[in-house]
Structure 1
Amino acid sequence: MSKLKPIEVLIVEDDARVAKVNRRFMEKIEGFQVVGIAANGQEAKVWLEEMRPQLVLLDVYLPDMKGIELVWYIRQHCKDIDIIMITAAEEIEVIQDALRGGVFDYLVKPVLFDRFKQSMEKYRLHLQTLSSHQRLDQKQVDQLLGHVQEPIPEKHLSKALPKGIDPVTLEKVVQVVQAHSEQGLTAEQVGKHLGASRTTARRYLEYLVSIKRIRADHTYGTIGRPERKYYAEQI
């Protein structure tokens, strides 16, 4: 199976040290590739025109313009490009403008790696959900917009979990399966999304089947052998 094309990222940041940190953070997360770093708004516009990245990491305070101006430039000229703000700006007016401009996330400096990684993984899952569906029901739209959180039921967390099942990984498995609920995924495919082995993925998947969080079904592959696929349970 061919490797998925990485998500191309443009960093727009005038502080070279911060830009270097953002690049280093990004290089630690699978599935992303920094294609350029712009130190001001004009450089960013050139990169946007020439590279058309999927994602822009954008600071608010740039030497030649406010980052919010660039948000609206992107919305007018590059509607298919997403934006995550990484900035020291905490003013409510700036945050409101960013949200109105449709930014995917807003990270306040100094940003810890765990929060940075959480944002990127959420964005990657967001893209996977959009690319794997032609239509979305209300539940899926709510999940996509972040209106509904669906944690593992309390009785299944921590103390109730069997040995070898981590609650954080368990929830990630649920999210991956939900993002591909129409076509279903095999244990091997889930493992690739998680960066884990097929055996590890199957252990989590079968546990989720046992608590009726997801369902499993057998299908036949191209060579006639049955394969077990996992699907999100529908309400």
Structure 2
Amino acid sequence: MRNREIEVLIVEDDRRIAEIQQRYIEQIQGFQVVGIAASYIEARTLIDILKPDLLLLDVYFPDMNGLDLLKETKQLEKHTDVIMITATKELDKVQEAISIGVFDYMIKPVVFDRFKQALQRYQDFHNKLLLLGKENTLITQQEVDSLLRKEVEVTSNNDRSYLPKGIDPLTLEKVLEVLGKVGVGLTADSVAKEIGVSRTTARRYLEHLVSVERIEADLAYGTVGRPERVYIVER
């Protein structure tokens, strides 16, 4: 029997960003947006009525702190999980969110690939819970370990399912290795020569790594011609 769609409530006071998140979700099979809340009252009301499976939650609102709502939700709605999507980069806020029990934490602006990876990881976790709940009320150590491995390393050689089409994990590691060795910005041409692929292929891998925030991109201005896009591993 097919699992029902995972119900998502978006809690975001910027309507444009909320609509982008909704469009992202519509492109991922197995999810359904059940509401959008822009304030504490709206969020609390919709959580109480709809009891969604998942909240996409910002931190700062005119009338609340999203971390307080996260804490409330985890105390009152045991079966509602939360993914923070926020521009907040302060380490203490990230630590607080993790300690309260956030499933994932994404920093705006969020690209679709990273967004999709987070939701697919949650979908895997959610479906495992449903399956275990149908089978029994007591679980084994192996099943606990499986649930706790929700944070899947995107570039793991053993897990290709979370990589976009056309991105091979072995080639991805080669690209990262080349960038890590030189320690300076490289162009797509330079990376292509180092690993033996075409410039187009190298650029595809490099732009993927930029999108998931594993590396940074900048422009290098030479003496002649247009500036070149260069890539460097984040330090």
> Which residue identity does 2:93 align to in structure 1?
V
In the alignment, structure 1 segments of 5+ residues that lack a partner are 158-165, 169-235
Matches within 5 A, 1:124-163: 124-133=123-132, 134=136, 135-146=138-149, 151=156
Q: Per-residue displacement from partner, 1:127-185 (whole Å, max 9, x unpaired)?
A: 1111222454434433322378695569xx9xxxxxxxx967xxxxxxxxxxxxxxxxx
Aligned counterpart, 1:57: 56
Quote the sequence identity (%): 45
Is the CA contact (8 Å cut-off) linking 2:74 and 2:81 kept in structure 1? Answer: no
Bigger drift between 118-127 and 132-141 goes to 132-141
Structure 1 residue 82 and structure 2 residue 78: aligned?
Answer: no
After superposition, give the CA deviation of every residue in 1:57-105 in whole Å (9 maximum; x if it has no partner).
0000111010001011102221211000000001011111101110100
Q: Distance in 2 between the 1:17 and 1:153 partners?
A: 37
CA shift in 2, pair 1:142/1:65, >3 Å: same
Distance (Å, rounded) in 1 between the aligned partners of 2:77 and 2:143: 26
Q: Is the 8 A contact 1:142 1:148 kept in 2?
A: no
The aligned runs of 1:1-235 (5 Å cut-off) are 3-133=2-132, 134=136, 135-146=138-149, 151=156
Taking structure 1 as reference, are residues 108 and 151 closer, same or farther at Cα in structure 2, changes over 3 Å only?
Answer: closer
Q: Which amino acid letter does the alignment assign opposite residue 93 of structure 1?
A: D
* CA RMSD of superposed structures (Å): 2.6
> TM-score normalized by structure 1?
0.61
Q: Structure 2 length normalisation: TM-score?
A: 0.61
Q: Following superposition, which runs of at least 4 residues in structure 1 exceed 6 angstroms of deviation?
A: 147-150
* SS of 1:132 mapped into structure 2: helix
The amino acid of 1:141's aligned partner reads V
Task: Name stretches of at least 5 consecutive residues in structure 2 with no aligned partner.
Answer: 161-166, 170-235
